Structure formats: C-alpha cells, structure tokens
Amino acid sequence: MSESKAHIKIDGLTMAYGDFVIQSNLNFSINQGDIFIIMGGSGCGKSSLMRHLVGLKRPAAGKIIYKGADFWGVDEEDREKMMRRMGVMYQSGALWTSMTLAENIGLPLEIYTDLSAKERKDIIAVKLALVGLSGFDDFYPSEISGGMQKRASLARAMALDPEILFFDEPSAGLDPVSAKLLDDLILEIRDSLGATVVIVTHELASIFAVGNNSVFLDPETRTMIAQGDPNRLLAECQDIKVQKFLRRES
C-alpha cells in the first residue's frame, strides 16, 4: 500500500526519558484496516511506543503522522480532536471498579458528547452486544471474569466509534480459550467497524492469528530490525533475533 494511504506514518521517531534513549530512528507505516503488532523482547519499548502513539508521551525527535497531520505538530485543540478518534484498551483493563459496566462505557460519551441519557443508553447496549456482554449493564467489574473484563474494556474503547483502536497486551492473564475468543472478537470488530488496530503483545498465538503487519523493536540496538506480516517474517526474515522470538527459541 502506498504511503499516501497510510493511516499512521512514523517518521524518524526517537523515544527517550531524559538522556536515556529507548528507541531511535523508527520508520514505518500502519495502513488503514491493518491489525498492526508492536513486538519485541522485554524492555524494548513496546508500551512506550504505544504511549507516544496515543498522546501520553512526546517524542524526543521525529514525527507521528495521522492521515497526513503531524500529531505533535498541531495545536493542542486539534491534537485533542485527533485523540478522540482513538480508542485505548489498557493491559489491566482499567475499568472503574466503583462503576457498573454501563457506567464505564458511558463515561466517554458523557464527557465528550452532547447525547441524551437515552441515546447514551442505546449506544452502551450496542457496544455491550458487540463484545458479547448483553445483559451485563448493571454488573460491576468484580462480578465478572477476567475475560469478560477485557471485553468490557474493549466496549469502552469503542464507545466513541474510533478510527483507530490501541490494545496493550489484550491477552495478558487470560487462559488460552479466553485469549482465542478475544482474538476472534478483535478480528470481527476490525471487519465490522473498518477500524485500524494497533496491538502491543508478546503472545505468539495472537500475533500469528490476527496480525497482518508489524514492527519488531530490538532492546540491544534500540531500533527496529524488522517490519511486515508476522507470518512472512517467520518464513523469510533472516535476523536471528526475530527468528528466536517468533519461534520461542532461547
């Protein structure tokens, strides 16, 4: 796909905390409709890259471009508008434990829209149905399983009908069956909403099941060493670090 059709373009990105450089000279594109995997060994900066992409951390250098607009180059008001087109599912789920599932999902709608209570209720019902949680509106997070909490968090990430969904370790802590169900749900949502999905994960089953594009971050050289379809990288990439990661070899 050509650069002009890239949904997100990373151009010379350097991530750092003070003088400590996490990753430098990152250059890759995420295309519309991709399920894009950010992968690499522990400490390589996967979650840091996610924080940069969703607006929680400013790059030390380089650009993050959404549909041709420099995310960190626009003014704060325009950047906030761009952020509202994103949905984020955090690793822990990050549901408010004192709120019901309906209240959790409705919170973004209440804050960022002028919808009436009835309109919000209708949207909440649709989002819960999309993730298979119809009828659980009045349940609290502590009253449902870990897999259901992940799905509820996904429903909240979709509350504002985002163009891009970001997932940080969505399968973390789930048993294999629940993880497979979540993978299937991510594929269904991408296809039904036409959203671009960016996932931080180290779970190989998920990487190969859902990913069609990826970047591999290396903690030693502190830069990217591979990009592309994970299944193609497994078959063709000659880098030993990438092969060991994708084959779970020591």
> Has residue 2 got a pLDDT over 70?
no
- Here the tokens at position 60 are 């030390």
pLDDT at 1: 40
> Has residue 36 got a pLDDT over 70?
yes
pLDDT at 93: 63
Instruction: Give DSSP secondary structure letters for 201-239.
Output: ---HHHHHHH-SEEEEEETTTTEEEEES-HHHHHHH---
Averaged pLDDT, 104-127: 92
Which amino acid is it at 116? S
Whole-model pTM over 0.85: yes
Check if the beta carbon of residue 48 is closer than 8 Å to that of residue 22.
yes
- Here the tokens at position 180 are 């497979």
> Has residue 209 got a pLDDT over 70?
yes
pLDDT in tens, 142-168: 999 888 888 898 899 889 889 999 998
pLDDT in tens, 89-110: 877 667 888 999 999 999 989 9
How deeply is 94 buried, as exposed, middle or buried, from its count of CB atoms within 10 A (0-12, 13-18, 19+)? middle
What is the percent of the chain where pLDDT is above 70? 97
Rounded CA separation 220/128 (Å): 42
Residues in the chain: 250
pLDDT at 90: 79
> Has residue 206 got a pLDDT over 60?
yes
Q: Return all residues near 42 (Cβ < 8 A) that are at least 6 apart.
A: 202, 219
Check if the beta carbon of residue 226 is closer than 8 Å to that of residue 239.
yes
Rounded CA separation 233/224 (Å): 13
Nearest-10 crossing angle of helices 146-157, 176-193: 20
Check if the beta carbon of residue 144 is closer than 8 Å to that of residue 66.
no
How deeply is 141 buried, as exposed, middle or buried, from its count of CB atoms within 10 A (0-12, 13-18, 19+)? buried
> Has residue 194 got a pLDDT over 70?
yes
